[in-house]
Structure 1
């Protein structure tokens, strides 16, 4: 656990100048042998207490941070909302239920509830049945207007060749079940079977076009291609494509159904299961100002959601969190939510004496080809986290080396570091890095940020270099 330090905010980024080392020749040679030039590496090592820089290499050059950028979004949100903040979702109506019949519209209004999964939504609908409502004759309306614009996914080109998987889901303020359909896949020697475990009315998934192959089961996603989705006579048909290993069992969640249609099929399936009837249609809209709340769901406390951001590196949750920063009550011009979020983050940095020059923000998750940050800026964020009133919550959200997920369970084995070392990892096609708190064998804490940007910075090549930099940083005095 990182000790909490009580210093003035302006001192957090200022530090004390020191004669800082560059990267050692041995690691520079290792990098060149791997086809990575020395100037593709950015590094900073600091003491969190006085901010003294022990090592620095291109630390003031903006680089693609990948998921290490989540540290900035997480800390700004934690200090803005507090650890007890919860997103929410509400079922509202302006109509009265008479003899169990709701003659008006039912509205699902989202306030960035990152836990609004199928089970949570069913509990909300159960609350309607507990009120005696059994029939809904109006429409089911999805109010996503907590964010502006309400839908940023429409017309957005895919980030990569796998837009159907969870990490690529573009958020909105409702994000019902993250728009994900869960599939259970199983194959023997001759045939493949698929089971849809998410209740969706009128959705049929077939695997007849998947070719069975003799390939490793653990790599099954490498042989998968984007499913084909078509609607016919009111039924949505999802046809799985590509190859699947024989003698393999796997589970996955995919985002392939347009989100209004997905919400409609999920709502109808759950409402029918609860004994209700619905004769309207599902559409996007806005809740009337005089609507009353019938049922509410609240997410986990933000101190728990933080673990999803940093330990699990969950992109949709991070992006929802980033937008929520800008969706709070306006105190200035009415701007698109993402623009307000960016302004708020930059103001937060300046209040703590952290230079924002060179910083480029898009969605706050690092899942971007545009986002840029300096290693020195991430180091200053980590130092601010160490001095924050919520330092314990922030540190606890980072992956613990050798103990839990987030890409650090099997990293740095055999390196002379102490228990309690915590690092957030980041990986994109051309970017590999980590940033966090190193505990030396002597029990001293070091802030370390190491990021490699290069076309050869694949994880199998770049991670050993980054780990070597951490091992070396542990020896610095």
Structure 2
């Protein structure tokens, strides 16, 4: 009789032989295992923390050598959700306009209006005004050629046909410092660096005060040059046309730039005969004189003439002068739209000087910045933690942290003017120019499109984006992204900002 161990061993070998002889009905690796791996990897990706998602984006090699500050907070309670170099002071570029806009709403009020006055120190005898005619600017950056035309019509209706006196521009509402302290000379000929005067003129309703629009287009010129047009039409600037018409299909390469210290605008380059419009907003040298030149033309169009001895000059209006016409600007609530959505630098500097004038009695950058600093401090930001140098963000010396910006954006939510402030921010992916603004061609896909409301910023080596976004599960977030000292293209750096914001818009906060 065989032993039990022997029988067990024989049974084991028989089972192995039977199994080996069966056909292979299973794949080497079960199908359900592949599916489970895929599902598992998707779950891991979806369940990554907010910190992990943003940190992975900040590993982009285009940020090598750059300094990045990113902060994310809950809008409901201000709780900090994410911070990378959040306390590091960085250049905000046009994110500075967030501070200027908030300070203007807090101190001037959403209904605030600028004013321009026409006055005279003379008397009307018959159809002749014997005395000087003054146009007194009080900082209005929205003054247009059409407003000057209206002033001229009002004077005509009062019976004035001749003025025996000077046309005087009064810009004493502000000081005579025309450019902010850190503005680069390379920006000064263009609308981004236009001079600031209490008496100034805008060429259209973008309100780029102190500029003219220069259009260059094909022509049938026998001299072989492109056609150049200036708006508003004025001889205050001199066009030096050095363009060359070339055959259809040729290169269109037009340069438009004003010589520093003059009003000579040099237009050069090639324009094909089938070319398209080239347009530039060019700043003028000394905006007060610009207003006087255009106003004198407007008066002439109404048949109002000056005597031969009359001059255009600057000066203060005497106290005894009488107001003969006046105009108020649109309210601040409306002015904030081109300021914030189109990132209008000139409006930022005008608002800064206006706050200085109204709140400190002096229309200077120093006094205006003091007002902004006071408002930011009252919001709860330590004065020693930031440095402000202008109202637009053009300065490469202004410093503030991402944490401070989000702190400001959180605290102003309780202000009665917050709805006006938030409405003025560019809206991602909205193609209407005065809605989408500088974000109209960015973040054009869901869930960011129409959801992100934020201020852009861009100067050499600096790109920024700060504002509000609602996450996929309805959590409103406040964020600030400050990218400094980068050497990449602005488009590639902005794409990193876009990716961070897309993470916020698409994130779900799991309980």
TM-score (structure 2 length as normaliser): 0.79
Compare 361-370 and 403-412 and name the one that shifted more: 403-412
Q: Structure 2 unaligned segments of length 5 or more: list them.
A: 1-48, 203-208
Question: For each residue in 1:367-425, what CA deviation from the matched residue of structure 2 results, as whole angstroms up to 9, or x when unmatched?
Answer: 11221211112112211332211111111000111113332122223353474320110
Q: Structure 1 unaligned segments of length 5 or more: list them.
A: 1-18
Partner of 1:199: 233
Partner of 1:152: 178
The 5 A counterparts of 1:29-108 are 29-30=59-60, 33-37=61-65, 40-108=67-135
> 1:92 and 1:457, CA in 2 relative to 1: closer, same or farther beyond 3 A?
farther
Q: CA deviation at 1:105?
A: 1.3
Structure 2 SS opposite 1:345: helix
Partner of 2:31: none
The 5 A counterparts of 1:292-303 are 292-303=322-333
Counterparts of 2:423 and 2:354 in 1: how far apart (Å)?
22
Larger radius of gyration: 2
Partner of 2:504: 473
Partner of 2:17: none
Q: CA deviation at 1:329?
A: 5.2
Q: Does 1:166 pair with 2:191?
A: yes
Q: Does 1:133 pair with 2:149?
A: no
Q: Which has the higher helix share?
A: 2
The 5 A counterparts of 1:322-337 are 322-328=352-358, 330=360, 337=364
Partner of 2:406: 379
Partner of 2:218: 187
Counterparts of 2:138 and 2:343 in 1: how far apart (Å)?
21
Partner of 1:263: 291
Paired positions, count: 443
Structure 1 SS opposite 2:257: strand
Partner of 2:335: 305
Compare 309-318 and 138-147 and name the one that shifted more: 138-147
Q: CA deviation at 1:250?
A: 3.0
Q: CA RMSD in A?
A: 2.8
Partner of 1:8: none
> 1:267 and 1:183, CA in 2 relative to 1: closer, same or farther beyond 3 A?
same
Equivalent residue for 2:306, pick from 262, 278, 294: 278
Q: CA deviation at 1:181?
A: 2.6
Do the aligned partners of 1:110 and 1:174 also contact (CA within 8 Å) in 2? yes
Partner of 2:351: 321
> 1:74 and 1:336, CA in 2 relative to 1: closer, same or farther beyond 3 A?
closer
Question: For each residue in 1:305-358, what CA deviation from the matched residue of structure 2 results, as whole angstroms up to 9, or x when unmatched?
Answer: 01111101111111101111111154xxx6662222122222212222222323
Counterparts of 1:230 and 1:59 in 2: how far apart (Å)?
42
Counterparts of 2:288 and 2:449 in 1: how far apart (Å)?
50
Structure 1 SS opposite 2:464: strand
Partner of 2:321: 291
> 1:228 and 1:318, CA in 2 relative to 1: closer, same or farther beyond 3 A?
closer
Partner of 1:402: 429
Higher relative contact order (CA 8 A, sep 6+): 1
Counterparts of 1:35 and 1:20 in 2: how far apart (Å)?
20
Counterparts of 2:177 and 2:153 in 1: how far apart (Å)?
28
> 1:276 and 1:61, CA in 2 relative to 1: closer, same or farther beyond 3 A?
same
